[in-house]
Amino acid sequence: MRLKLAIIAAVMVVATACSGAATAPAPSSQADIDLVGPTALVLWHTQTGANAKALQELVDKYNSTNDKKITVTLQYQGSYTQLYQKNLSAIQAGALPELAVAYESFVADYQKADVVLNLDPYVSSAKNGLTKVQLEDIYKSYLDTNRFPQFGNQLLSFPFTKSLLVTYQNDDVLKEIGKTAPKTWDEFEATARAAVKKGADGKTSRYGWASNISASTFNGWVLSRGGKLMSADNKTVAWDGKEGVDSVKLFDKLLKDGVSYVPKGFDYQTDFGTGKVLFVEESSTGRPFFKSSFKGPINWSITGIPQIDPAKPKTVQYGANVAIFKSTPEKQLASWLFVKWFTDAAQTADWAVKSSYMPVRNSAKDTQVLKDSWAKDDPQGKQAFELIGASLPEPNARGQQDVRTVIEDLLTAVAAGKVTDIEKAVKDAGVKANQILKDNQ
């Protein structure tokens, strides 16, 4: 009995600590308060190398120029998964930072503990919010992905590091085989087949396609075939239909025919740079990594992924957002003001040039810094930017991380030759994914 009481008491202590972190929902007036004293904020992020340096420069600029005495401190927390795990621990301990970079599925998990700030009152605040023009300047799909039907359709995060699924294409190889950029999946298959080259030893020296095992890429395939990822009520997956089956069948067929291969890690970047593969489907953010793998000058470009209907192209939107955690009204407002500043056209353009992420505002294309970058160093960045309109968000329902594993396990099993009936395998994966979503309601 004593042990039982001790356990309950210990849990109550933790529960109290957690409820302390999750303060009452902010009234809309909290978005209009005046900031008087200095406000210190901590932002947990995942950026490394040049991106981390660029982010620090932007934050330094904000710290030295904002007139509200807001100071943002960046804290690197490792990979996205590590950041997520640290946030879960911080929720238990009631020690969350003011802001954290997060994928949509992470935000859904955090909100289970009711710790994420609803940004709607801040966005619509007459004093500190965004004007209608400013709001419309941000890509709709970037905002849509941060609205959570599971939580009353609240805007729980804001676009931060956005990108999209594109095709990296080696133009030299394309020229050599006398083909043009494929628009449809049929053309893609024919072009990829034509690119395959074998050496004197009979081994494949060039593949048509490096087919990554990635849930996001699969989602892009489904969208490009006119499919949907989730049902209308957002409670079950919709990728387990014909579009999903066709996607997996092509993946399987090209692997078995030796037209494609499954690369290990990021090997596909080196393979692309050394002309060992014609097409790679990857995030638009990978541009600098592809470039750094080039052994000599090559001609390459970024195009949209193949479509079932090229007149209505669709691809998948990648990238993370930034969530603001509930704290004091002053810190919440200060956090929002920083996020708002960061996504202004000037800053988002600067961030886009330095980090290779897509700018979150359409008007960024008119900034000199982005124009210069596209003209001199990064023409492929412009090619990717022009495809943003075709990008659609991935589902943000709770449990999505595990659904991604289900998709990737399906593709891994196909690649390993362990699947004989693809239709059944896709259907079974859908059943498994739906159970995960149900368990996470």
Partner 1 sequence: MTRPAASATRRRRNAAENALAYAFILPAMLILLVFHFAGGFAAVGMSLFKWDIVPGAFRGLDNYQTVLVGSRAEEFWHSLSVTLTYTLITVPIEIVLSLVLAYLLFQKMRGRAVYRTLYYLPYITSVIAAGVIFNWLMNPNYGFFNQILELVGIGPQRWLDEPRGLFELMSGGLLAGWAQGPSLALVGVSLFTIWHFIGFQVVIFLAGLGNISTEYYEAARLDGASERQIFWRITLPLLSPTTFFVATIATIGALKAFNQIYVMTNGGPLDTTRTLGYEIFHVFFQQGRIDLGAAMAVLLTIIILLFTLFQFRIAERRVHYG
The residues binding partner 1 (CB under 8 A) are: 7-8, 10-11, 14-15, 18, 81, 84-85, 88-89, 91-92, 109-110, 112-113, 262-264, 267, 401-402, 409, 412-413, 416-418, 435, 439
Closer residue to partner 1 in complex, CB, 65/441: 441
First CA to last CA distance, the chain: 34
In whole angstroms, how close is the CB of 120 to partner 1 at the nearest point? 23
Residue among 210 and 223 whose Cβ is closer to partner 1:
210
Q: Write down the least CB distance from residue 200 to partner 1, Å.
A: 16
Taking the complex as a whole, the smallest distance from the CB of residue 18 to partner 1 amounts, in Å, to 6
Shortest separation between residue 371's beta carbon and partner 1, angstroms: 39
Residue number with CB closer to partner 1 (303 or 401): 401
232 φ, ψ (degrees, to nearest 5) = -60, -35
From the CB of 5, what's the least distance to partner 1, in Å?
A: 11
Q: Least separation, in Å, of the C-beta of 377 and partner 1?
A: 30
> Nearer to partner 1 by C-beta: 269 or 380?
269
Q: Which pair of tokens denotes residue 82?
A: 């590590």
Nearest distance, CB of residue 130 and partner 1, angstroms: 31
User: What's CA 251's distance to the chain center, in Å?
Assistant: 22
Amino acid at 120: D
Burial class (CB in 10 A: 0-12, 13-18, 19+), 36: exposed
Question: Nearer Cβ to partner 1, position 352 or 397?
Answer: 397
Helix-then-strand count for the chain, H and E = 19, 13
3-state secondary structure 250-297: HHHHHHHCCCEECCCCCHHHHHHHCCCEEEEEEEHHHHHHHHHCCCCC
CB of 265 to partner 1, least distance (A): 8
Nearer to partner 1, 23 or 435 (CB): 435
The Cα-based distances of 308 to 124, 208, 268, 311, 348 in angstroms read 39, 19, 25, 9, 33
Of 142 and 148, CB closest to partner 1: 148
**Is the Cβ of residue 181 or residue 413 nearer to partner 1 in the bound state?**
413
Give the CA angle between residues 130, 150, 121 to the nearest 5°: 25
Beta strands in 180-238 (DSSP E): 197-198, 204-210
Q: Judged by CB, which is closer to partner 1: 84, or 188?
A: 84
Residue 301 or residue 412: which is nearer to partner 1 going by CB?
A: 412
Residue 154, classed as helix, strand or coil, is strand
Least distance from partner 1 to the Cβ atom of residue 109, Å: 6
| C-alpha–C-alpha distance, residues 407 and 429, integer Å | 7
If the CB atoms of residues 184 and 204 are measured against partner 1, the closer one turns out to be 204
What's the closest the beta carbon of residue 106 comes to partner 1, in angstroms? 10
> Which class for 295: exposed (0-12), middle (13-18), buried (19 or more C-beta within 10 A)?
exposed
Residue type, 102: A
CA dihedral 126, 130, 133, 138 (to 10 degrees): -160
Residues in the chain: 441
Residue 75: CA atoms inside 13 Å, Cβ hemisphere, count?
A: 17
Smallest separation (angstroms) from partner 1 to the CB of 438: 10
Give me the long-range contacts of 408-413 (CB less than 8 A, separation at least 24). Answer: 408/213, 408/214, 408/215, 408/218, 410/248, 411/213, 411/218, 411/248, 411/251, 412/213
Note the Cα 412 to chain centre separation in Å.
21
How large is the C-alpha radius of gyration of the chain? 23
DSSP string, 338-362: HHHHHTSHHHHHHHHHHH-PBPSBG
